Structures are given as C-alpha cells and as structure tokens.
C-alpha cells in the first residue's frame, strides 16, 4: 500500500485528414472526481500518467490480471463477498495508472519495475514517516529504507503478509500483474468483508490508504469502471437503431487501429498517430471507422472523419446537455466545443450516459461513460 497522493495523466489524440485516409482517436479524459477538464492543445496517445480513464484505458493484460484475481481470491478468503474487477481496477488506477508505460509480459511480469518514493520521512512525495527496511532490497531495490512497489504499490512489509502466487511460478512477486492483483484482492477482503456493502468497501479502501480523499478518488474510479462493465439494456430499442447498436456492441474487444475500419468491418490501419503508433499491422477500428461500419449496417453512409460525420443528420447542440441524447445518436468531442472543425472524436450513444467507443491506440472497443471524455460537442441523430 502507499501513503502518496494519486498520480494522474492526460490522454489525447487528433483527428487528421490524409490523402489516403482519415482517422481519429481519444482526447483528454476527465478524472472520476473533478468535472473540470483543461482541454489540450496538442494530441497525445503515448500513455503516461492519466488524468482520467475508463475501461478502455486498462491494458488488456492488466484487465486479465484483475479478472483472474477475482476468480482466485476465494481460495484464500472464502468468506469474502462482492470482490469485482472494477474494485481492483479502481485501486490500480490511482496507484499506478494500470502500469501504463511499462511492458507487461505474457506471464504478468512488469518491466521496468514500479517503485514509489523512499519512505524516509523527508517529505518527498508526501511521506512524513520513516519506514525501516524489511526486505533487504529484494522487492524495493534498496536496503536503506522502504518504498512501495508494483502496480498496487504495496510496502514490502505488507506484501510479506498477503503476497500470493497467482500465475503458478511458485513466487509471489509484487511486480507481477497477476500476483499483485491477487494480493490486493486478498488484502481488501480482509477476514471476509462483504464488498457489496458500500460501508465495508469504504473500510477496505481506507485500510489500503488511510485518507478520505484517497477513498473518494478510488470509489469514483470503481463506479466508473462498474458502469463501463455493464451491458446496455436494449429492450426498448428497435428497428434500425437497435441494428446499429447491436453491430457496434458486437465489436467490443476488437483492437484499436489507427485509420482502421470500413463499411466492411475491421481492417488494417495506416501510419502513424501523433506519437508514431501505426495501425498497419493491426486489424481493428479507429473511432470514426467504427461508426462508419455500424451505420452502414443500417443503410446509412457516413464520411470518414469524426468532424465530417458531425455534418450528417440532425445536429444536437452541446448546450442541451447529454440528456438530450437518444440511443443510436453519434456523440462528438472537440478541442473547442462549438467549432465543429475541432472535433477529434466520435462514439455511438447507447443510453444511460454511455457510448460504444474506440478510444485510442493500445486499447479495444468498449463501453465508456460519455462524461469520461472532455470537450463534449453535442451529437447527431441519424435515425
């Protein structure tokens, strides 16, 4: 566990027009607590510390680790109830931003390792209490004191008591995604908490880091990930709207590909994103490629870029708020809301504040909260 404040990052992206294709991806996303977001003037999709994020921003290998931990925690804490992957994701989001920027091997090993500040009472990184060394530097790389380690930022002394081998290599390693996630699940479960109860969930998070601000931050992410994990209810949606949504939802899990996607479905993309990410070897969708494909299934032809798609159908002004959206509407985001030429991203609204979203390179098509992204620029109703 850690005594430091949460780290944050900003994602960004750009809608660009090339001679052969036009693509789009995610822009800055909001934090779970603050509704105020500073729009970015330049695009970024290269990872780093996030100011926000949704399920689409969790590296697939980390999400697998969270889900595996949920399946295994009952072996160690049989009385634990209500452990869910969004709980683990909420902790890991605040502690390490899901280890984004590191390499996560197939066996779960994370390199380079993630170290917190040296807890020597110096005040650096917010630490005011010195913690003596307990592991001889085995996990935290130093024998001069303690520092939090891994994607869940455990102190070596804490890891000694709750660390578990989740991947079967006979070593409980806090720098391994699977082991760390299982250790976090065991720690949060305590002696058998019922995490379906908000008070017990809050107590578990408070045990992880004794800070009310920390608890509120983590709970915000848990709620956001929980919303993203739920499948939408299409019972009251019919006709061509339902056809569009079912097609879009069926693509969940398909990789993001810069410039990828056509009326025929996923396709290899182009080179390259602002940070040099190429879609030439990835079969998938970018944001406007996904909308192009989904609406084609309903017999509607869309232009290739997000900005151009805003000119199709009945425009829904941003000033009306997201409550004016209906399932099947296109949802737009802009660097300068009110100026459609600055639209950088598009999604497909499914209702209850969520959209189908192809977010950025390195992610997959997923359900996201509309308010998880900045620069809401209204929508367009085509059906």
pLDDT digits (tens, 9 = 90+) for 4-57: 433 322 223 333 333 233 455 433 322 222 212 222 222 223 222 222 334 667
pLDDT digits (tens, 9 = 90+) for 373-382: 889 999 999 9
| Residue 64 sits in the same domain as residue 213 | yes
Domain assignment of residue 139, yes or no: no
210 catalytic residue (yes or no): no
Domain assignment of residue 315, yes or no: yes
Catalytic residue among 209, 217, 345, 371: 345
**The pLDDT of residue 34:** 21
Per DSSP (E only), the strands in 236-326 are 267-268, 283-284, 314-316
| Residue 216 sits in the same domain as residue 360 | no
110-111 and 366-369 strand pairing: unpaired
**The pLDDT of residue 1:** 52
| Residue 103 sits in the same domain as residue 176 | yes
Domain assignment of residue 7, yes or no: no
Catalytic residue among 97, 209, 217, 357: 357
Domain assignment of residue 130, yes or no: no
**The pLDDT of residue 13:** 33
End position of a domain, from candidates 229, 253, 269: 229
Domain assignment of residue 107, yes or no: yes
Q: Alpha-carbon distance 188 to 193, whole Å? A: 8
| Residue 267 sits in the same domain as residue 333 | yes
287 catalytic residue (yes or no): yes
Domain assignment of residue 203, yes or no: yes
357 catalytic residue (yes or no): yes
| Residue 222 sits in the same domain as residue 367 | no
**The pLDDT of residue 24:** 59
Domain assignment of residue 17, yes or no: no
End position of a domain, from candidates 229, 253, 285: 229
pLDDT digits (tens, 9 = 90+) for 212-224: 999 999 998 898 7
Domain assignment of residue 360, yes or no: yes
Of 356, 374, 352, 355, nearest to 365 by C-alpha is: 356
- Which residue ranges in the chain fall short of pLDDT 70? 1-56, 125
**The pLDDT of residue 27:** 33
Q: Which two tokens stand for residue 3?
A: 């005594």
Which stretches of the chain are DSSP H helices?
60-76, 85-96, 156-162, 177-189, 198-208, 212-229, 239-249, 287-296, 306-309
Among all chains, which residue has been given the structure tokens 């390259």? 272
Q: How many domains does the chain have?
A: 2
**Structural domain range at position 259:** 239-381
> Looking at residue 197, which CATH number applies to its domain?
1.10.530.10
Compute CA distances 224 → 3, 180, 207, 227, 288, whole Å.
Answer: 23, 22, 21, 5, 24
> Looking at residue 342, which CATH number applies to its domain?
3.90.1720.10
Catalytic residue among 107, 287, 352, 371: 287
**The pLDDT of residue 128:** 80
| Residue 276 sits in the same domain as residue 302 | yes
């Amino acid at each position: 566990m850690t005594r430091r404040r949460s780290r944050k990052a900003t994602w960004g992206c750009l809608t660009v027009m090339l001679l052969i294709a036009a693509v789009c991806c995610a822009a800055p996303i909001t934090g779970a607590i603050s509704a105020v977001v500073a729009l970015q003037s330049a695009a970024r999709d290269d990872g780093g510390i996030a100011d926000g994020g949704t399920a689409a921003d969790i590296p697939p290998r980390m999400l697998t680790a969270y889900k595996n931990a949920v399946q295994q925690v009952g072996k160690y804490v049989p009385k634990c109830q209500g452990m869910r992957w969004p709980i683990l994701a909420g902790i890991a989001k605040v502690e390490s931003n899901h280890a984004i920027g590191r390499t996560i091997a197939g066996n779960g090993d994370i390199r380079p390792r993630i170290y917190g500040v040296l807890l020597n009472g110096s005040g650096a990184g917010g630490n005011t209490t010195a913690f003596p060394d307990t592991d001889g530097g085995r996990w935290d790389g130093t024998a001069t004191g303690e520092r939090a380690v891994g994607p869940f930022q455990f102190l070596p002394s804490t890891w000694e008591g709750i660390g578990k081998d989740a991947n079967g290599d006979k070593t409980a390693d806090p720098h391994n995604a699977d082991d760390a996630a299982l250790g976090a699940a065991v720690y949060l479960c305590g002696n058998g908490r019922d995490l379906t109860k908000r008070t017990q969930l809050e107590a578990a998070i408070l045990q992880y880091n004794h800070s009310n601000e920390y608890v509120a931050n983590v709970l915000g992410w848990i709620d956001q990930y929980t919303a993203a994990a739920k499948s939408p209810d299409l019972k009251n949606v019919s006709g061509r709207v339902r056809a569009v949504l079912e097609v879009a939802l069926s693509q969940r899990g398909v990789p993001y590909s810069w410039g990828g996607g056509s009326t025929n479905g996923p396709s290899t993309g182009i080179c390259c994103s602002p940070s040099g990410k190429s879609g030439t070897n990835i079969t998938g969708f970018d944001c406007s490629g996904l909308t192009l494909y989904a609406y084609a299934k309903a017999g509607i032809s869309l232009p290739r870029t997000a900005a151009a798609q805003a000119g199709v159908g009945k425009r829904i002004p941003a000033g009306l708020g997201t409550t004016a959206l209906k399932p099947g509407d296109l949802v737009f985001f802009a660097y300068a809301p009110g100026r459609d030429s600055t639209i950088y991203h598009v999604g497909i609204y499914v209702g209850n504040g969520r959209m189908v979203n192809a977010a950025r390179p390195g992610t997959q098509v997923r359900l996201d909260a509309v308010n998880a992204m900045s620069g809401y620029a209204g929508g367009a109703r085509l059906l």
